[in-house]
Amino acid sequence: MNAATGYNFAYLDEGTKRMIRRAILKAIAIPGYQVPFASREMPMPYGWGTGGVQVTAAILGRADVLKVIDQGSDDTTNAVSIRAFFARTADVAVTTRTREATVIQTRHRIPEAPLSEGQVLVYQVPIPEPLRFLEPRETETRQLHALAEYGLMHVKLYEDIARHGHIATTYAYPVEVAGRYVMDPSPTPKFDNPKMDDCPALQLFGAGREKRIYAVPPHTRVRSLDFEDHPFRVQSFDRPCALCGAEGVYLDEVLLDDAGGRMFVCSDTDHCEERRADGHVGTGGMEAAHV
């Protein structure tokens, strides 16, 4: 207990952290399997990352360096408030630099900079069950996971192709982990799915409202589901980032005025800033300078 703040280190009490750590260990032991845990009320509404915050609180040590991103950005409300929350309740060092962080809590994105061994990526997950919208019964989805009956997942992809001519699912794109469990990678764009495969960092997923934790251990095979004649493909962008000129990264569209002006910039703000600091300039770099 910290006498000054009145909170235990990282907000949760030690008993709760131990319960969450047990769930995390089990999740790591069975890659992709959703482990139930006794999710707590957190001082933020459901949907704002209560699952991710609990996982982060359970694994955070005094020497850790924390980075929090929301949609790839370090400076949006959700990211700022969660970072401030842990700076206050755990007094840990915080950063926006991907390379410097030991724990990265994220909603939606995997950083562009390659992750390394020793880093932990914590995802905030709204709906952990990939089969949910096809099979509403929890008893039945558990049965389907237990027996590895994943034909239903392909029915969803079939419907996509039948309706749109291609697999139109662009986020929460289902993956098969370590050749066994099918998992929802949370609402990350499918652009980031390939980064999950054989990733050297530990990936933990926390769903607070749904009370589930799951994990992908380092260097685990993560395969995006597809059809033989409609293979998995990521989005591609026809232009580089307007600020830093980066190609092959995920871009956000930014509206500039009410006359149709817009530009496409890196969704990963840290990646973009680092490149601009190194002297890379995109086509819109000058305009951005005086915005």
Partner 1 sequence: MSTPLLQARGLTRHYGARLGCADVSFDLDPGEVLAIVGESGSGKSTLLSLVATELAPDSGSVSYRMRDGRLRDLATLSEAERRALMRTDWGFVRQDARQGLRMAVSAGGNVGERLMGAGARHYGQIRATALDWLNKVEIAPDRVDDPPTRFSGGMRQRLQIARNLVTGPRLVLMDEPTSGLDVSVQARLLDLIRGLVAELGLAVIIVTHDLAVARLLSHRVMVMRAGRVIETGLTDQVLDDPAEPYTQLLVSSVLAA
- From the list 49, 51, 245, 266, the catalytic residue is 266
Q: Least CB distance from residue 253 to partner 1, whole Å?
A: 31
- Considering just the CA atoms, what is the radius of gyration of the chain in Å? 20
Number of continuous H segments (helices) and E segments (strands) in the chain: 8, 12
Q: Which range, of 28-36, 97-105, 153-161, 278-286, touches partner 1 by CB under 8 A?
A: 153-161
Residue type present at position 151: G
Ranges within 57-116 binding partner 1 (CB under 8 A): none
What phi, psi does 252 have (nearest 5°)?
A: -105, 145
Asked about 32 being catalytic, the answer comes back as: yes
Establish if 139 lies at the interface with partner 1 (CB under 8 A): no
Place of tokens 């000129």: 245
Establish if 159 lies at the interface with partner 1 (CB under 8 A): yes
Which of 6, 15, 43, 151 touches partner 1 (CB under 8 A)? 151
Asked about 244 being catalytic, the answer comes back as: yes
Which of 6, 63, 228, 236 touches partner 1 (CB under 8 A)? 228
Q: Least CB distance from residue 155 to partner 1, whole Å?
A: 5
Asked about 199 being catalytic, the answer comes back as: no
Number of residues that bind partner 1 (CB under 8 A): 18
Establish if 25 lies at the interface with partner 1 (CB under 8 A): no
Establish if 127 lies at the interface with partner 1 (CB under 8 A): no
Cα 225 to chain center, whole Å?
Answer: 18
Q: Which range, of 74-82, 88-96, 99-107, 156-164, touches partner 1 by CB under 8 A?
A: 156-164
Establish if 161 lies at the interface with partner 1 (CB under 8 A): yes
Q: Which two tokens stand for residue 43?
A: 């001082």
Q: Which range, of 21-29, 30-38, 146-154, 252-260, touches partner 1 by CB under 8 A?
A: 146-154
Place of tokens 């360096």: 65
- From the list 49, 51, 199, 272, the catalytic residue is 272
Which of 227, 237, 247, 289 touches partner 1 (CB under 8 A)? 227
- From the list 244, 245, 282, 284, the catalytic residue is 244
Give 4's contacts (C-beta < 8 A, 6+ positions apart).
none
Q: Which two tokens stand for residue 220?
A: 């685990």
- Name the burial class of residue 197, with classes exposed (0-12), middle (13-18) and buried (19+) by CB atoms within 10 angstroms of its CB: middle
- Name the burial class of residue 133, with classes exposed (0-12), middle (13-18) and buried (19+) by CB atoms within 10 angstroms of its CB: exposed
Helix (H, G, I), strand (E, B) or coil at 52: helix
Distance CA 291, CA 289 (A): 6
- Residue 120 vs 172, nearer CB to partner 1: 172
Distance CA 197, CA 152 (A): 23
Asked about 49 being catalytic, the answer comes back as: no
x/- track of binding to partner 1 for residues 229-248 (CB under 8 A): xx------------------
Pair 203, 196: CB distance under 8 Å:
yes
- Residue 156 vs 280, nearer CB to partner 1: 156
Q: Please state, as a whole number, how many other Cβ atoms lie within 10 Å of the Cβ of residue 238.
A: 6
Q: Where does this chain bind partner 1 (CB under 8 A)?
A: 134, 143, 147, 149, 151-152, 154-155, 158-159, 161-163, 226-230
- As annotated, the active-site residues are 32, 241, 244, 266, 272
